[in-house]
Amino acid sequence: MALKPVKNEANLLALVAKGNQRAFTELFDAYYKQLGEYIYKLTDSIEVTEEIVQDVFIKVWLKRETLPELDNFCYYLFILSRNQALNHLRKEANNKVRQLEWSKQWDEDDLPDDSSVSEQYRQILDAAVEKLPPQQKKVYKLSREQRLKHEEIAKILNLSPETVKKHIKLALRFIKSEVSSQSDIVIISILVTPLFF
């Protein structure tokens, strides 16, 4: 798979290395769909694809200081994405084997669960979503979890599309402010961005 590079990529990478969130957003917007299409072919799951793409960009952000040293950012993204997808598939296969073995000895409730940095961020995000006012929470969940468009949400909740848009904007503002004290705002931004492939 060949990723189509961004024209001003070297400049963007230098800015991202210095912590420029706008430059990172530009890189994210340029590449997430291309990566998503590739990963979806490997996983055949939108949810897994979304999680892997988010994890890849979280890694890019966390290691941003090294970006200017890369000879080929597209290749780096491709390898990172491929490895994340293969690790996920390997982990999924291993989990299925372990579950079969454990099910002979343990109840379902006794199975240990994995946690990762991304999972911790997701928990912080979920806690913030739960604090939203009821109508904002409904709109946010319909938008982000069920991937409905503004018009579809408006019909379901008997609201205007503009009201839906306003609820989403307010919900995102609240979530970002709520989690910014506990975590890296760029990572949370990646997690709240809906990915459509």
Q: Answer whether residue 184 shows pLDDT above 60.
A: no
Question: What is the arithmetic mean of pLDDT over 114-132?
Answer: 71
Exposure string of 135-153, with b = 16+ CB inside 10 Å and e = fewer, is ebebbbebbbeeebebeeb
Whether residue 95 is found in the same domain as residue 124? no
Whether residue 55 is found in the same domain as residue 133? no
Tokens encoding 94 = 């291993």
The one-letter amino acid code at 133 reads P
Helix intervals (H) in the chain? 9-17, 21-43, 46-62, 73-103, 117-130, 134-144, 150-157, 161-180, 185-192
Least confident segment among 81-85, 106-110, 118-122, 184-188: 106-110
Last-in-domain residue among 103, 133, 156 = 103
The one-letter amino acid code at 5 reads P
Q: How confident is the model at residue 113 (pLDDT cuts 50, 70, 90)?
A: very low
Q: Answer whether residue 14 shows pLDDT above 90.
A: yes
Q: 114 or 81: whose pLDDT is higher? A: 81
Whether residue 18 is found in the same domain as residue 97? yes
Report the domain count for the chain: 2
pLDDT for position 188? 56
As a whole number of angstroms, the distance between CA 30 and CA 6 comes to 7
Q: Answer whether residue 12 shows pLDDT above 50.
A: yes
Quick one: angle between helices 161-180 and 185-192, nearest 10?
150
Whether residue 82 is found in the same domain as residue 140? no
Question: What is the arithmetic mean of pLDDT over 62-73?
Answer: 90
Quick one: angle between helices 134-144 and 117-130, nearest 10?
140
Q: How confident is the model at residue 172 (pLDDT cuts 50, 70, 90)?
A: confident
Whether residue 125 is found in the same domain as residue 165? yes
The proportion of the chain whose per-residue pLDDT surpasses 90, expressed as a percent, equals 20
Q: Answer whether residue 107 shows pLDDT above 50.
A: no
Whether residue 91 is found in the same domain as residue 139? no
pLDDT for position 98? 66
The one-letter amino acid code at 167 reads H
Q: Answer whether residue 82 shows pLDDT above 60.
A: yes
Whether residue 73 is found in the same domain as residue 136? no
Residues in contact with 183: Cβ distance below 8 Å, sequence separation at least 6, in sequence order: 121, 124
Give the domain range for residue 55: 9-103
In the chain the first and final C-alpha atoms are separated, in Å, by: 16
Q: Is residue 38 part of a domain?
A: yes
Q: Is residue 109 part of a domain?
A: no
Last-in-domain residue among 71, 103, 135 = 103
Enter the pTM of the model. 0.53
Neighbours of 123 (CB within 10 A): 11
List Cα–Cα distances, 189 to 34, 103, 179, 186, 193, in angstroms. 19, 38, 10, 5, 6
DSSP assigned state of 106: S
Q: Is residue 15 part of a domain?
A: yes
